[in-house]
Amino acid sequence: MKKVILILVAGLLLSGNAFAETIESFKCTPKKTSKKHQAKNDLNFMLVSTKSETQKFVNYNIEDNTALARVYNEEFLKSRGIDDYTSYTEWATFEYNFWDYFPEQYTVTGYMLTERKDGKLLLAGTVLILGHTLATSEYYYEEFLESQKKRNTHKNNDEKYLEMFLKDSTRIGDHHAYLWNDIDINDSKRALIAWNCKKA
C-alpha cells in the first residue's frame, strides 16, 4: 500500500542547516493503551534548534523531512500552574494514506512530547479525519505541497524560510484544532495513540 505523508519537507541537510546548533535524538516505541487504535511502529526523530527559543524543527529518521514544533519550557508551564512537567513540545502534520486504520484517507495528526520531572518521556498522537471534508482535505494537502516548494526556494534565507515555515505550521495546527473541537459531526473519525520515548 502506497503511503504518502506531508511533514513540511525542509529540504535542508543538517550539516548545512544554520539553525542546527543543538540536536536532540529520540527513540520511541509503541505504548499499549486502552484505546481502540494503537501505534504500530517505532518512531525515531530529532529536535533541531532554531534561532527561536520556542520553535524547533522535527526531523524524522535522519532525513530532511521536518515539521516545525512549538516548545513550552518549564518556566512557561509553571506560569500556567503545571508543575509535573519540565517541557511540552507539540507539532502537527498533514498526510494521505499514512495510518493503517484510516486507509485511503487524508488525516491531520497532532503530536505532543511531554517530559516529566522524573525524566519520563511520552509522545502522544491524535489522528483526525472528517469524511465529509475529503475535497477540502485534498485541497489543503495539495496547497501545502505547493507551499513547501516555495519555501524551499528560500532555504538559504533563514528569516524568510522560518517565517514561511511558521505560517504553514500554524495553519496545519489550526486545522487539527478545528477537527478536534468539531465533535458534533457524525462522520468524524479519530485515534489516540502513544509512544514511550528515550533520548538516544
The three cell numbers locating residue 134: 475529503
Please compute the mean of the pLDDT values over residues 50-66 and round it to a whole number: 78
Mutual angle of helices 134-152 and 158-181, in 10-degree steps = 170
pLDDT digit string (tens) for 156-169?
A: 888 888 899 999 89
pLDDT of 105 higher than 90: no
Q: Cα–Cα distances in Å, from 90 out to 103, 125, 156?
A: 25, 10, 26
pLDDT of 9 higher than 70: no
pLDDT of 130 higher than 50: yes
pLDDT given for residue 62 in this prediction: 59
pLDDT given for residue 178 in this prediction: 81
Residue with cell string 514544533: 69
pLDDT digit string (tens) for 147-195?
A: 888 988 887 888 888 899 999 899 999 888 888 886 555 566 889 999 9
Please compute the mean of the pLDDT values over residues 49-75 and round it to a whole number: 83
Report the candidate in 34, 5, 159 with the shortest Cα–Cα distance to residue 92. 5
Q: Are 132 and 195 in contact (CB under 8 A)?
A: no
DSSP bridge partners of 113:
89, 123
pLDDT-derived band at 133 (thresholds 50, 70, 90) equals low
pLDDT of 132 higher than 90: no
pLDDT given for residue 26 in this prediction: 95
